[in-house]
Amino acid sequence: MGLTGEPSIWDGAPPAPEHIRLDGRTAIVTGAARGIGEAIATGLARFGADVAICDREAEDMAATATDIAAQGRAALTGLLDVRDEDAVAAFVADVADAFGSVDILVNNAGGGFNAAFLDVSAKGENALIRENFTSVTSFIRHTVPHMTSGGSIINVTSIEAHRAGPGFAIYSAMKAGVASLSQSLSMELAGDRIRVNCIAVDVTPTPGDAVLADDSGAISHTHWASQTWPEMGSVHDSAAAAVFLASDLSRFITGSSLHVDGGNWAASGWKVHLDDGSFGL
């Protein structure tokens, strides 16, 4: 089978430092008041993008907007619940009116709580589905028509999109659903030059970690390292991944999940024993 498609943009000249820049582009970042969303929003601004952000936390969101403006970039805020599709549609319309088009969409908003599946009510399940899956489809549905010059959709998932999540069964299923959706949409939207990828995060401390801790407040066992890489992750690692996936440097990457997890997905259950550095299951 022969190769198809237009010549690569790199055929004329190889990638250069300016290709990581996002100057002249507009981004939407959901759940941008704190944690990973805040880091991604300010990171995109640092590399040149104007950024529209939304969240339910007005005070923290205002602080994020201030940080975006400090980078010399325009900021637009929307106080809304991402589970409300009418509010999503209105916010995206405001962004398009303000900036003319959208180039980058980061679906970061989401969350869960620790409970056995049989203890989760139908109402609780519906809330988890709407927050972690339906919000993603809503933002994509309303944003894509404004990606008139192509674009990059980045869906923040989790390592739990790729493994079991006991105590977080619905949350994990929705993250897996987003990963599958991203693969399908990477094909459906390719003709419009819109790339769709995921960032699968783990071992990154965020303000929402309280719901993940056990009764002692510890997330991992005291005798085992929580990842093979010797450092903990930072929200800025996710921001760096988002900048890469938004930039021209990732122009041939679509339908993929970038694991920002210190090697946890690769480890597949192996742990580093803290006494001597050996591995065990």
Cα distances (Å, whole numbers) of residue 253 to 44, 100, 245, 266? 18, 26, 8, 20
Q: Where are the alpha helices (DSSP H) in the chain?
A: 35-46, 58-70, 85-99, 122-129, 135-143, 169-188, 235-246, 264-267
Q: For residue 241, count other CB atoms closer than 10 A to its CB.
A: 23
Catalytic residue, chosen from 171, 250, 259, 264, is: 171
CB atoms within 10 A of CB 180: 12
Annotated catalytic residue 171: yes
Spatial separation of the C-alpha atoms in residues 193 and 187, rounded to whole Å: 10
Largest CA distance in the chain: 59
Asked if residue 188 lies in contact with residue 247, where contact means CB atoms within 8 angstroms, the answer is no
* 239 contacts 42 by C-beta, under 8 angstroms: yes
Amino acid (1-letter code) at residue 244: F
Kindly state the DSSP code that residue 129 receives in the 8-state scheme: H
CB 105 within 8 A of CB 92: no
Please say whether the dihedral angle defined by the alpha carbons of residues 131, 32, 75 and 140, taken in this order, is positive or negative. negative
d(C-alpha 36, C-alpha 56), whole Å: 15
Of 79, 100, 99, nearest in space to 88 by CA: 79
Phi–psi pair at 116, nearest 5 degrees: -60, 145
Q: Which residues are catalytic?
A: 171
